[in-house]
Structure 1
C-alpha cells in the first residue's frame, strides 16, 4: 500500500493492504456500478480505515437523484465505520485494529461565512460521500483529527454516529433561543434522525414529547423504546382518517407546541408544521426536502406569532458529542439498524428504503 511519506507507518506491523479495492461509484445521477478502484493513499497525518459498515439514509437517495450537491464521479457513503488498517508517522493516538468512525464535514475555513465563524454556512462546504470519496468502499482515508475511537457500540450501531451528530446540531439550533427544558414538543416523522432527536431531547427534560408519523417499524421501535410520551400513528392508505387524527391532535393541543420539529422531509408536512406551533414557538426544518419544492406560509402568521424558524444543515463540531452520547449508552440505539445489504445489492438497499419497510439500513462492506 503506498504511503505519501514513503515509509511503513503501522507501528512496525506490516499490513497486507491491496493495491485495488471494491467501491460503489456514481458517474452521474442514477448511474452507479460497483467497480475496482485504487486503494487511496494516506499521508503522514492520516489513517487508512478498512470499512466494515456504512449506513444509508435519505441523503443518499437525494444523491442518487443528483440532488444535495454531489460532485460526480463520486463514491458515496457518509456514515461509515471500520477498523484502522494503517496510519501515517504523525499519528499517535490510534492503533491498527481500533474500531473508528469519522466526522466527514469540511468547512473551507476561508470563505465569507467561515471568516465570520459561521462554518455551517460555508460557501465551499465539503463532505465525504457527497463532494469527496465516501465510505461505500473497502477503504477510506481520514485525517487523524477527524477520527474517533468507538469502544462500546457494535459496527451497526456505530453507523448512527453521523446522523446523531446531525441531531446534536439540530438541538444546538433550538438552544440558541434557550433551553428546551419544560417544553412541549412535536416531532413529525419517525425516521432514524427524528428518533435520535427524540432520544437526545429525552435527556434534556422536556415536559411532553409527541411523535406523529405513519404506522410501521419506525413507530414500533419508538414505542418499544419509550422514546415519546404520546404517539399519533397515521394509516398512509386512509387520508380521511389521517385528516381526523391531525384535527384531534390540534384539539388536544389547542395552543400548539413550544417546539415543532419537521423530520420527515415531506414538503406537505413541512407546511403543516406551522399549524402546530404556538405563539412564540420554534419550528425546526430538519428533513432534507426536494430542492425545487415550495411551501405556503402566510407572512402575517410569522409576524403575529413571532415564530423562530430554524434550518439544520449538516453538522460542524458536533461529532465528539455524538460519540460521547452513544458510546456511553446515554442514548440507546440498539436494534435501530433493521436491514443490512451487501455492497453489490445497493439498488435493493435503495428500494427497501423507499419502500418504508426498514427503520435503518446498513451496507456491509467487509465482514
Structure 2
C-alpha cells in the first residue's frame, strides 16, 4: 500500500484502501472502458474520497462526445458522494470516515475573471469529471475545501446536492421579486430542484410545463408546483396556445430548462412586459435561435443565463437539513460502471428520471 504526501498516523489510509481501483475511463470521444488503475495520490490540502454514488447528468452526454472541457484520458462523474478515506496533513474541515458531497469545480483564482470576483467564469477551471478525474471511479481526489459533510443523507439523495447547488446559483441569477408568477419549461432532475427553490425564494405561483411521463408524474407526486401543463408530442402548439390564453399578461419569470431550441425560441412569448427569460437548459454550441429584438426592446425583457455552480453546496445542505428540499425519489435508477453503455442509452432516451453510478 502506497503512502500519500503528508502521511501521518491520523491521516494514513485505512487498511482496506487498495493500491488499485476500478474506474470508467475514456481514451477519446465515445471510446470508454472499465480499467484498473492506481488509487489517486493526495497532497497536504487534499482528501481521498471513497465514492459510494455519483449522479449521471446530461452534461456527461456532452463529455461522451468530447465537448465542453473534456480532456483525455477522462474519468467522468461530477455529482459525487462518498466517505473520506484519507486526508492531507493540513486538512481540518473533515476527518476520515466523514460522508461528504463534492463540489466539482476549482477556479484558478489568478486569471482575469477570478481576480474580479467571478470565479465561476474562470479561464482555467479545473472540473472534476471534466478535465481531471471524477467520480465514476472507486476513489477520487479532491481539494479538502471542495468537500462538504452530509451526515446520514442517503447516497441517492446525496448525488442531488451538486445539481441543487447549480439550481441555487440559478435562483441568485434570477433575483425573484416577492409575489412573482413563474413559468418553468421542463421538469428534469435539476428542474425539480429548481422548482422547489423558486417557490421558496419569492414566487407566489409556479407553473410547470413539460412533456408527460415519469418526470412530470414525480413532480406532481412531490407537489413542487402550483399548476402543471402537459405538452404533448403530437399537438404541442395547442397546449402552448392554451397556456398563453390562460395567462394573457404572461409571467414575471420564464425559465427554459428543457434544452430544446424550439421551446427556448417560443419561451420569450410568455414573458410579460418588464419580465425575465432565464436560459437554464444546456444546448449544443452550434444551436442558433431567432428572437424579435423589437419585442425585447419594447417590453424591456431581461434575458439571462445560469451556467452552473460554485460554492453553493453549504446553502443546499441548509435547505436539506431544514427538510425543505425534497431529494428522495429523483435518482430512480442505478448502474455499475460496467453497465455504462446501457446507462448512457437510458439517459439519452430519457427512460429514467435520473440515473446514478453506484459502488459497493
Measure, in 2, the Cα distance between the counterparts of 1:16 and 1:322.
32
Alignment CA distance shift 1:270-1:13 (3 Å): closer
| Mapping of residues 119-130 of structure 1, within 5 Å | 119-130=119-130
Query: Residue 215 of structure 2 corresponds to which residue in structure 1?
Result: 218
Query: Residue 49 of structure 1 corresponds to which residue in structure 2?
Result: 49
Alignment CA distance shift 1:245-1:324 (3 Å): same
Contact 1:150-1:327 at 8 Å conserved across structures: no
Instruction: After TM superposition, give the deviation of residue 135 of structure 1 in Å.
Output: 0.3
Q: Structure 1: 5+ residue runs without aligned partners?
A: none
Measure, in 2, the Cα distance between the counterparts of 1:165 and 1:132.
20
Query: Residue 64 of structure 2 corresponds to which residue in structure 1?
Result: 64
Q: CA RMSD in A?
A: 1.5
How big is each residue's C-alpha offset from its partner over 1:129-160, in whole Å with a ceiling of 9 and x where there is no partner? 11111000000011111111112420110000
Query: Residue 357 of structure 1 corresponds to which residue in structure 2?
Result: 351
| Mapping of residues 310-321 of structure 1, within 5 Å | 310-321=304-315
Query: Residue 142 of structure 1 corresponds to which residue in structure 2?
Result: 142
Instruction: After TM superposition, give the deviation of residue 235 of structure 1 in Å.
Output: 2.5
Contact 2:60-2:76 at 8 Å conserved across structures: yes
My pick for the range that moved more, 118-127 or 248-257, is 118-127
SS at match of 1:207: strand
Contact 1:284-1:311 at 8 Å conserved across structures: yes
Measure, in 1, the Cα distance between the counterparts of 2:46 and 2:322.
26
SS at match of 1:337: coil
Match of 1:295 among 285, 289, 299: 289
SS at match of 1:61: helix
| Mapping of residues 1-367 of structure 1, within 5 Å | 1-5=1-5, 7-10=7-10, 14-175=14-175, 179-236=176-233, 238=234, 240=235, 242-364=236-358, 366-367=359-360
Contact 1:161-1:326 at 8 Å conserved across structures: no
Measure, in 2, the Cα distance between the counterparts of 1:287 and 1:342.
27
Contact 1:24-1:343 at 8 Å conserved across structures: yes
Instruction: After TM superposition, give the deviation of residue 10 of structure 1 in Å.
Output: 3.6
Contact 2:232-2:239 at 8 Å conserved across structures: no
Instruction: Return the TM-score normalized by structure 1.
Output: 0.94
Measure, in 1, the Cα distance between the counterparts of 2:55 and 2:13.
30
Structure 1 consecutive aligned stretches of length 4 or more whose deviation exceeds 3 Å: 1-4, 8-14
Instruction: After TM superposition, give the deviation of residue 295 of structure 1 in Å.
Output: 0.6
Instruction: After TM superposition, give the deviation of residue 63 of structure 1 in Å.
Output: 0.9
Contact 2:254-2:270 at 8 Å conserved across structures: yes
My pick for the range that moved more, 288-297 or 114-123, is 114-123
SS at match of 1:329: coil
Measure, in 2, the Cα distance between the counterparts of 1:90 and 1:110.
22
Measure, in 2, the Cα distance between the counterparts of 1:2 and 1:305.
64
Measure, in 1, the Cα distance between the counterparts of 2:319 and 2:260.
28
Contact 1:190-1:211 at 8 Å conserved across structures: yes
Q: Structure 2: 5+ residue runs without aligned partners?
A: none
My pick for the range that moved more, 128-137 or 307-316, is 307-316
How big is each residue's C-alpha offset from its partner over 1:320-353, in whole Å with a ceiling of 9 and x where there is no partner? 1122222432201111111001110011111111
Instruction: Return the TM-score normalized by structure 2.
Output: 0.96
